[in-house]
Amino acid sequence: MPARTPAQSQERQTFEPHLPMMPALAPSAIAPPAFPEPWDDAELHQLRDALDHTVHAGLAHLTAGLSPAAIVDAFMDWGVHLAISPGKQVELATKAARKWARLTQFGSRCAINCGSAAPCIHPLPQDRRFAEKEWSQWPYNFVQQSFLLLQQWWDNATTDIDGVTKQHQAVVEFVMRQILDMVSPSNFIATNPVVQERILETGGQNLVQGLRNFIDDWERIIRSKPPAGTELFRPGRRVAVTPGEVIYRNGLIELIQYNPTTEKVRPEPLLIVPAWIMKYYILDLSPENSLVRYLTDQGFTVFIISWKNPTAEDRDLSLDDYRRLGVMAALDAVNAVLPHRKIHAVGYCLGGTLLSIAASAMARDGDRRLATLSLLAAQADFREAGELTLFINESQLHFLEDLMRSQGYLDTRQMSGAFQLLRSNDLIWSRLIRHYLLGERTPLNDIMSWNADATRMPYRMHTDYLRQLFLNNDLAEGRFLVDGRPIAIRDIRIPIFAVGTERDHVAPWRSAFKIHLLADTDVTFLLTTGGHNAGIVADPNRTGASFQVLTRSASGHYLDPDAWIKIAPRFEGSWWPEWTRWLVSHSDEPTVPPPMGAPAQGYPPLCEAPGAYVLQA
């Protein structure tokens, strides 16, 4: 390198004094200045959650709580596997050609026979959309036959595809069924001969009345008022009128003790735990079909829990709070009225699931206050919980949790909408046709009015319930924790009486039947006709009901549902007398009725039944 000239050195010396003086720094200290980030990781995470939650909650309001991602996922699974199944494609193409040939032959026979011919396909037994004689006339018979063939083809197209998961297949089948139900020819004036005939008969007044019905229903929805006609069945007037007293109240329940109707009663009282998804009086409807009244007339002292209708303030109530403040608090109150008496515990629907949890924890902890356990249309194993499982997967639960988090609860309309979709023909479209196209009003009875009187579900409790029971099946598989320790139904050693109903879409009887696999005790299982509600409300004066019943001892061998239904004897009539005979066989001799409440122990009568909680909107 050449040496500097004197001039260059002088130039450097005269320039350097004008530079700012800098301290000597180590090489590692020479780095770009650190600028603070606008958010740290925790704040960014919170921002992300808030944004996702807001978007998901808004979408959930538009989709009635259904996750679009879950539905798209199901259709992708179905579509991809169908696309790589040439055998299934050939089968569907062949079936489509056959159905087209059947429809063409049907049309030809109609042309020859002046518009009438024997149908080439019949609706399913529960499908009453085309039952009127007008549907057998041309051209409406051709319209309904083509629709039924299309419906049958889509059933073939959405099922029995290798590789598709069971839940995705069920979701695709369900969604396509909803779409087909929506476009059914019975839903449109132009293709419904019954509506057309009514228009001619009334000069179109049925449509005018239908418009009035629609406006009235819309106003009721906007104002959060119950459907028309429910005012005739207000609790305490025509329903829930069995005399009794509220003897205990906390922030979650009221406990009702009913007046005795016999001179002597069985020493062991009954505590009924109803589902908190609806009001308790499904078990105390009109006097002629009230299970509570029937039990008191049979010489039992009956207590029942009436759940509070939660609000946004109750968002943090957990499933364990329902156990502690509900079942366990009620047991303490019953024991105060009848000290040292064992209790017949009865649970209906979700109340039966909660009671199973409480009874398992009591058995684990050596609490022997229960005499028997009766589970009415209740599940403990949720692997085959019917079409409700369509709405239970990780995507769907996240979506639903965002909706509930924004409100603090699951709203009654959002919840009832899911149940109505399970039977959309009966609960949605047939009513729309009757109310808005035919201009009629379906007269409400006590059970229909009760069905419209739903309750909300607290955010945390419903999340616990859906995740731990429906999604993870923790109770059946020994992972459900009470007080930090797992419980198992097999610890229950008291006799169990379980009831299933043949047409139950909420708690399918084969799912309720799994109590045989879970319990290590005597199990009497009874299968009755009817659905989830009407099958349980089976007063002895009603005709047409029947049931099958069989007991398996703790040392007996297991029978699967198909074998059980073949050998279990069938009896005509209501199942209530059979159940009361079973209760009597596990009770002591009658004695004098107990007092109403226990004021000295802090359980004084507070007010007359049905109490205040059941009246909450």
CA–CA distance, 73 with 58 (Å, rounded to integer): 20
486, containing H or E segment = strand 485-486
CA–CA distance, 507 with 382 (Å, rounded to integer): 9
Of 68, 83, 263, 266, the C-alpha closest to 171 is 68
Active site residue 607: no
Q: Are 243 and 609 in contact (CB under 8 A)?
A: yes
- Summarize the chain as % helix, strand, coil (round to 5): 50, 10, 40
Catalytic residue among 110, 114, 349, 607: 349
| Residue whose structure tokens are 């924790």 | 481
Beta pairing class for 409-410 and 370-376 = unpaired
Helix H segments across 392-506? Answer: 394-407, 412-422, 424, 430-432, 446-451, 459-464
| Residue whose structure tokens are 């149908």 | 119
Q: Are 563 and 380 in contact (CB under 8 A)?
A: no
Q: Which residues sit opposite 603 in a β-bridge? A: 598
Distances 447 to 233, 290, 452 between C-alpha atoms, Å:
9, 11, 9
Nearby residues of 89 by Cβ (< 8 Å), 6 or more positions away: 82
Q: Are 296 and 258 in contact (CB under 8 A)?
A: yes
Phi, psi of 457 (to 5 degrees): -125, 120
Q: Are 164 and 170 in contact (CB under 8 A)?
A: no
Tokens of 300: 């039992």
> Integer distance in angstroms from the first to the last C-alpha of the chain?
95
Count how many residues are written for the chain.
617
Phi, psi of 482 (to 5 degrees): -125, 120
Starting at the edge strand found earlier in the chain, the sheet holding 253-258 runs: 570-572, 546-552, 523-528, 496-501, 370-376, 343-348, 270-273, 302-307, 253-258, 244-249, 607-608
Q: Tell me the one-letter amino acid at 498.
A: A
Of 253, 299, 315, the C-alpha closest to 280 is 253
CA–CA distance, 398 with 5 (Å, rounded to integer): 78
Beta pairing class for 523-528 and 496-501 = parallel
Nearby residues of 17 by Cβ (< 8 Å), 6 or more positions away: none
Distances 598 to 22, 123, 430 between C-alpha atoms, Å:
88, 59, 51
Q: Are 576 and 291 in contact (CB under 8 A)?
A: yes
Tokens of 147: 């629709």
Tokens of 72: 């798209």
CA–CA distance, 333 with 599 (Å, rounded to integer): 11
Q: Are 138 and 173 in contact (CB under 8 A)?
A: no
Of 367, 382, 333, 532, the C-alpha closest to 450 is 532
Of 529, 563, 565, the C-alpha closest to 544 is 529
Distances 200 to 385, 431, 439 between C-alpha atoms, Å:
46, 21, 13
Task: Tell me the catalytic residues.
Answer: 349
